[in-house]
């Protein structure tokens, strides 16, 4: 089994460039299923999740070609409507092909994604949206089947929670529904705006993405488009925390500071110097890190996908911080692993109380999920001795050339078999 070996103690410095966003590229690739002509996508990160969704599209009959940084999709020959368990189990975002398939083919049969390390992650809001658009939903034998043989009809849909995936799936389905759809209380994440942008380039009529109400006028056909994926705000945040934690001085190129406001605010509160410009952000830590509290919330609140990494920072801060997770029910799997490295953390319901310690010590640990894995890499960078991180397939899902990028700014990290 492959592992990451991190030897702590190096101060990071230099420039690291952020890749295209995992959470933007996955729905964008799903959206290309709606196009009757080929699409070209740029700033494609080299990620396992990208390869998985590409496989899902190929399984459905699309022709997909991946070159470094670019992905070509031709969905003109999509014939199948079924995404099997072997593909969906690898990545929950595979469920995002349901909206496009339903809109285009009038049917979709997708394996139930199941729970994962960070919680049960139901899909009821996606299904509620499809039903409101006129689809009939049937569940059985581990699959969800949605049918709309007469086509979808626009509707007013209120989401009980601003779910990112449900907003994306409904937006894609409604793009080709008859009439107007209004999504109330949608997710407002930058990835929603990126998806609306490509859909509009494909010929859709979507307004209000990134606000509290999205209006979609359905159109009868969408064509392919050329689109450049937005930078990954979570990857950027991870390198920013790495710079802060190691007392480093790192320029995170391509970071869009507009998307990183809560992370920047909390790093400043912790005593880190941040300099923003149009091409990125410089993160420089000169003194010790102060403990600060964080509470995860839907965008524009503090992102749950940065919670584990920020907790890693807090394990070596001065004082006690309270980290509250409100988005996912069980996103503290990294706590026990950080404790193995000497962190002082107690979980109290949805909060973790983190008492900063003078030092962490390296040991074998496991990445229980993607961001938990990133948090362990960060902890390893400052730990005394060697940290051996197992189950790194989780990290490979979402960090483009992580070892190469960390080494380029001075980290002592390697991948071993
Ligand atoms: C590929 C991708 O973009 N993944 C991101 C996306 O996941 P994802 O789209 O799965 O996240 P959601 O916003 O849908 O989930 C947020 C919360 O809503 C709940 N929920 C969601 C859907 C539903 O039908 N019913 C329901 O109850 C979930 O269980 C969770 O507690 O947004 C999350 C929240 O920012 C991020 O952590 C993930 O990195
Ligand atoms: C939870 C995450 O992703 P996914 O929804 O793909 O599991 C993440 O990116 O941190």
Residues 354 and 338: their CA atoms lie apart, in Å, by 11
Which of 20-29, 77-86, 100-109 shows the lowest mean pLDDT across its residues? 77-86
Q: Is 398 in the pocket of ligand 2 (CB under 6 A)?
A: yes
Q: Which residues contact 349 (CB under 8 A, 6 or more apart)?
A: none
Which of 83-97, 222-236, 285-299 shows the lowest mean pLDDT across its residues? 83-97
Q: How far is CA 379 from the centre of its chain?
A: 21
Write down the number of H helices and E strands in the chain. 14, 24
Hey, what are 163's tokens? 């779910």
pLDDT at 333: 96
Burial class for 61, CB neighbours closer than 10 Å (0-12, 13-18, 19+): middle
Atom of ligand 1 nearest to the CA of 327: 31
Beta strand segments in 86-151, E = 107-111, 136-140, 143-147
Hey, what are 284's tokens? 């420089």
pLDDT at 79: 81
Q: Is 305 in the pocket of ligand 1 (CB under 6 A)?
A: yes
Which residue, judged by its Cα, is nearest atom 7 of ligand 2? 92
Residues 188 and 174: their CA atoms lie apart, in Å, by 17
Residues 271 and 186: their CA atoms lie apart, in Å, by 34
Query: Does the pLDDT of residue 114 top 70, yes or no?
Result: no
Q: Is 165 in the pocket of ligand 2 (CB under 6 A)?
A: no
Averaged pLDDT, 390-401? 96
- 327 in a known ligand binding site: yes
Question: For residue 333, which of 343, 344, 347 has the smallest C-alpha distance?
Answer: 347
CA atoms within 13 A on the CB side of 270: 36
Contact (CB, 8 A) for 110 and 94: yes
Over residues 329-372, the pLDDT tens digits come to: 889 999 999 999 999 999 999 999 999 999 999 999 999 999 99
Q: Is 159 in the pocket of ligand 1 (CB under 6 A)?
A: no
- 254 in a known ligand binding site: no
- 22 in a known ligand binding site: yes
Q: How many CB atoms lie within 10 A of CB 349?
A: 7
- 364 in a known ligand binding site: no
Quick one: DSSP state of residue 93? G
Hey, what are 400's tokens? 């483009």
Hey, what are 43's tokens? 């700033």
pTM above 0.90, yes or no: yes
Quick one: DSSP state of residue 302? B
At residue 152, φ and ψ (nearest 5 deg) are -90, 155
Residues 407 and 417: their CA atoms lie apart, in Å, by 18
pLDDT at 119: 83
- The closest ligand to the CA of 334 turns out to be 2
- 305 in a known ligand binding site: yes
Over residues 37-46, the pLDDT tens digits come to: 999 999 999 9
CATH of domain 22-228: 3.65.10.10
Query: What's the CA-to-centroid distance between 302 and ligand 1, angstroms?
Result: 14
- 121 in a known ligand binding site: yes
Residues 404 and 46: their CA atoms lie apart, in Å, by 12
Residues 188 and 199: their CA atoms lie apart, in Å, by 16
Pick the CATH number of 3-19+231-416 from 3.30.1330.10, 3.40.50.150, 3.40.91.50, 3.65.10.10: 3.65.10.10
Residues 389 and 367: their CA atoms lie apart, in Å, by 6
Mutate to test the pocket of ligand 2, among 21, 48, 305 (most ligand atoms within 8 A of CB): 305
Would the CATH topology of 3-19+231-416 be identical to that of 22-228? yes
Query: Does the pLDDT of residue 115 top 80, yes or no?
Result: no
Q: Please identify every residue annotated as catalytic.
A: 116
Q: Is 237 in the pocket of ligand 2 (CB under 6 A)?
A: no
At residue 364, φ and ψ (nearest 5 deg) are -75, 135
Atom of ligand 2 nearest to the CA of 23: 9
- The closest ligand to the CA of 372 turns out to be 2
Which of 113-117, 171-175, 283-287 shows the lowest mean pLDDT across its residues? 113-117
The SS3 call for residue 148 is coil
Residues 46 and 66: their CA atoms lie apart, in Å, by 9
Residues 170 and 125: their CA atoms lie apart, in Å, by 9
Atom of ligand 1 nearest to the CA of 126: 24
The SS3 call for residue 208 is coil
Residues 115 and 345: their CA atoms lie apart, in Å, by 25
Query: Does the pLDDT of residue 196 top 80, yes or no?
Result: yes
Atom of ligand 2 nearest to the CA of 304: 10
The SS3 call for residue 79 is coil
Q: Which helix (H) or strand (E) holds 355?
A: strand 351-355
Q: Tell me: ipTM over 0.95.
A: yes
Q: Where are the domains of the chain?
A: 3-19+231-416, 22-228
Q: Is 93 in the pocket of ligand 1 (CB under 6 A)?
A: yes
Q: Is 394 in the pocket of ligand 2 (CB under 6 A)?
A: no
Residues 270 and 292: their CA atoms lie apart, in Å, by 6
Q: Is 118 in the pocket of ligand 1 (CB under 6 A)?
A: no
Query: What's the CA-to-centroid distance between 264 and ligand 2, angstroms?
Result: 21
CA atoms within 13 A on the CB side of 325: 24
Which residue is associated with the tokens 């990125």?
A: 280
Q: What percent of the chain has pLDDT over 70?
A: 100
Q: Is 121 in the pocket of ligand 2 (CB under 6 A)?
A: no
Which residue, judged by its Cα, is nearest atom 1 of ligand 2? 305
The SS3 call for residue 152 is coil
Q: Which helix (H) or strand (E) holds 157?
A: strand 156-158
At residue 106, φ and ψ (nearest 5 deg) are 80, 5
Query: What's the CA-to-centroid distance between 23 and ligand 1, angstroms?
Result: 11
């Amino acid at each position: 089994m492959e592992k990451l070996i991190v030897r702590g103690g190096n101060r990071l410095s230099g420039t690291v460039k952020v890749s295209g966003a995992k959470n933007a590229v996955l729905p964008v690739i799903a959206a290309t299923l709606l196009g009757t002509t080929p699409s070209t996508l740029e700033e494609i990160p080299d990620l396992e999740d990208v390869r998985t969704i590409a496989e899902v599209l190929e399984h459905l009959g699309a022709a997909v070609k991946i070159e470094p940084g670019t992905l070509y999709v031709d969905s003109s020959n999509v014939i199948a409507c079924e995404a099997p368990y072997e593909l969906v189990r690898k990545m929950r975002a595979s469920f995002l092909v349901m909206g496009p398939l339903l809109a285009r083919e009038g049917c979709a049969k997708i394996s139930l994604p199941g729970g994962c390390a960070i919680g049960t992650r139901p899909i009821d809001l996606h299904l509620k949206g499809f039903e409101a658009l006129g689809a009939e939903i049937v569940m059985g034998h581990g699959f969800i089947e949605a049918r709309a043989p007469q086509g979808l009809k626009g509707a007013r849909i209120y989401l009980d929670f601003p779910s990112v995936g449900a907003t994306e799936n409904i937006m894609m389905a409604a793009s080709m529904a008859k009439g107007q759809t209004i999504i109330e209380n949608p997710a407002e994440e930058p990835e929603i705006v990126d998806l609306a942008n490509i859909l509009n380039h494909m010929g859709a009529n979507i307004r209000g993405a990134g606000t509290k109400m999205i209006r979609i006028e359905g159109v009868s056909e969408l064509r392919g488009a050329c689109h450049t994926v937005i930078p990954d705000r979570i990857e950027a945040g991870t390198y920013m925390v790495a710079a802060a934690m190691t007392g480093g001085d790192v320029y995170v190129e391509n970071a869009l500071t507009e998307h990183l406001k809560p992370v920047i605010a909390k790093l400043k509160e912790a005593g880190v110097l941040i300099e923003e410009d149009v091409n990125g952000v410089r993160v420089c830590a000169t003194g010790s890190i102060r403990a600060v509290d964080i509470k995860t919330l839907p965008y524009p609140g503090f992102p749950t996908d940065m919670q584990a990494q920020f907790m890693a920072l807090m394990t070596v801060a001065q004082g006690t911080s309270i980290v509250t997770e409100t988005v996912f029910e069980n996103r503290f799997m990294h706590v026990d692993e950080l404790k193995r490295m000497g962190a002082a953390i107690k979980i109290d319901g949805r909060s973790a109380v983190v008492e900063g310690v003078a030092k962490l010590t390296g040991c074998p640990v496991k990445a229980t999920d993607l961001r938990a894995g990133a948090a362990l890499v960060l902890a390893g960078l400052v730990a005394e001795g060697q940290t051996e991180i197992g189950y790194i397939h989780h990290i490979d899902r979402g960090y483009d050339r992580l070892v190469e990028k960390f080494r380029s700014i001075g980290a002592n990290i390697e991948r071993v078999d």
